Structure 1
Amino acid sequence: MTYQLHYWPTIQGRGEFVRLALEAAGAAYVDVAREPPGKGGGEAALARRLDDADNPRPAFAPPFLVDGDIVVGQTAAILLYLGPRLGLAGSGEADGLWTHQLQLTIADMVAEAHDTHHPISSGRYYEDQREAALERAKCFREERIPKFLGWFERVLERNPAGDLHLVGDALTYADLSLFQLVAGLRYAFPKATARVLADTPAVAKLHANVGRRQRVHDYLQSPRRIDFNEDGIFRRYPELDG
């Protein structure tokens, strides 16, 4: 079965966490909105699926995953569904639940990163809320990045199987998502993130190790990996980096 990933075709966004899991596992999938319209792709296909009146369980927003008759929305829920199927959720129920908890914490930080450049409203331009963004970003840099990455550092240090992975001794989607989180922070807040990573060496090591995995490395070098840009979650506004 080929999975169908539905997400915006020009940004990494929240869909990238799902895409990394599919790529790392070597799973067959179609990035529907990035397919040519003539092949049933494009943003129009994404919009049609969102507005499908025959779907009794509509997705609120992308990303969502289609697997046969099953449609799963929300990044963490998609990964909760995919994790065991792709061998990326640890071993057993306890590992699976812990992996999900880690993903939810990453989702919290992703939302806070987004709100640094849109602290008042997602519907307004950054330039219309720049003063509020400067204040929000200062707190994010000085308080929230150290708190979140410091917690992940402790998780790695306390893993009974060693500090190479967040869960057990094998790759999980939580490792992949932490990799993406760090990559986004390094893009948006390069100075602040470098300072925190100097104090969280296990997090920095995990990020480097994940990026060296063959399938992940090949994906990162391919055109399938969209560059970070100022339409996505992680945006580089130098003034927000202090």
Structure 2
Amino acid sequence: MTYELYYWDGIPGRGEFVRLALEDAGADYRDVAREPGGMGEMMTFLNGERGPHVPFAPPFLKDDDLVISHVANILRYLGPKLGLVPADEASRTFAHGLHLTLTDFLTEIHDTHHPLGVDAYYEDQKVEAQGRTARFLSSRLPKFLDYFETVLSANNGNEGNLIGGQIGYIDLSLFQVMEGLHYAFPRAMRDSGNRWPGITALQARVKERPRLRDYLSSQRRLPFNESGIFRHYPELDVEAEG
């Protein structure tokens, strides 16, 4: 069966985490909203016209008659099918927990440029965004990345991935977060290789995986832009203390 991925056209956003897993596994899928008429097709789900399992928002994935929403939930479902998570339940549960932590991290990243809410433009909350971002870069960003560096270090005897002996979906998602942080905060992330060497090495290995290398250089890979989670506003990109 061909998987159907539904996410807003024009931004990588949260849909990109699902794309990376599908692309890395060589899975057959449709990126529906990027097809002619696809946005309208997606809205039929969101408007409740396609059955009782109505997603709150994209991304969501359709697999035959099953509709799955939320990135962590989608990847928990896809991981075993795509061979991107170890088979044992303890590892699968831990991977899901790690992705829920990344979900929290993404919310804090997004809120650097929209601290007052998504119903106002960035230009209407720039002062608040500068204060929020300064605290994020000095405190919250290192807290999250220190944690993932610790998990990498604790996975002894393996090739520097987060769980088990091979790269899985949680590693792909951490890669995407790092790529986004380097886009949004190039000055603040300038020393990331020294501060988080394990994560940096993992980021480089993921980028060289054969299928992903092809995907990342293709038109299927949407570039970061100032409409998504990761946005580069020079006035927010300050050197973090410590």
Q: If the TM-score is normalised by the length of the shorter chain, which range does it land in?
A: over 0.9
Structure 1 residue matching 2:61: 3-state secondary structure: strand
Partners of 1:156 and 1:203 within 8 A in 2: yes
Match of 1:217 in 2: 213
Could you tell me how far apart the structure 2 residues matched to 1:116 and 1:29 are? 33
Residue 57 of structure 1, CA deviation:
1.6
TM-score normalised by L of structure 1: 0.96
**Correspondences of 1:165-204 after superposition (within 5 Å):** 165-204=161-200
Whether the aligned pair in 1 keeps the contact of 2:192 and 2:200 (CA below 8 Å) is no
Displacement over 6 Å in runs of 4+: none
Could you list the runs of 5+ residues in structure 1 that have no partner in the other structure? none
Q: TM-score, normalised by structure 2?
A: 0.96
Question: Residues of 2 paired with 1:227 and 1:29: CA distance?
Answer: 20
Alignment of 1:94 onto 2:75 = no
Q: Give the superposed CA RMSD.
A: 1.0
The question of whether the paired residues in 2 share the 8 Å contact of 1:149 and 1:196 is answered with no
What is the CA deviation profile of residues 4-36 of structure 1, one whole-angstrom value per residue up to 9, with x for unaligned ones?
A: 000011000000000000000000000000112
Provide, for residues 58-91 of structure 1, a one-character-per-residue CA deviation record: whole Å limited to 9, x for no partner. 0000000000110000010000110000001123
Structure 2 residue identity aligned to 1:127: E
Amino-acid identity (%): 51
- 1:51-200 matches, cutoff 5 A: 51-200=47-196
Q: Is the 8 A contact 2:158 2:166 kept in 1?
A: no
Structure with the larger helix share:
1
CA shift for structure 1 position 53: 3.2
What is the CA-CA distance between 1:106 and the residue it aligns to?
A: 0.8
Give the paired residue count.
238
Q: What is the aligned partner in structure 2 of residue 241 from structure 1?
A: 237
State whether residues 118 and 126 of structure 1, in contact with CA within 8 Å, keep that contact through their aligned partners in structure 2. Answer: yes
- Structure 2: 5+ residue runs without aligned partners? none
Alpha-carbon displacement from aligned partner over 1:78-122 (angstroms, at most 9, x marks no partner): 001100000011231111111111111111111100000000010
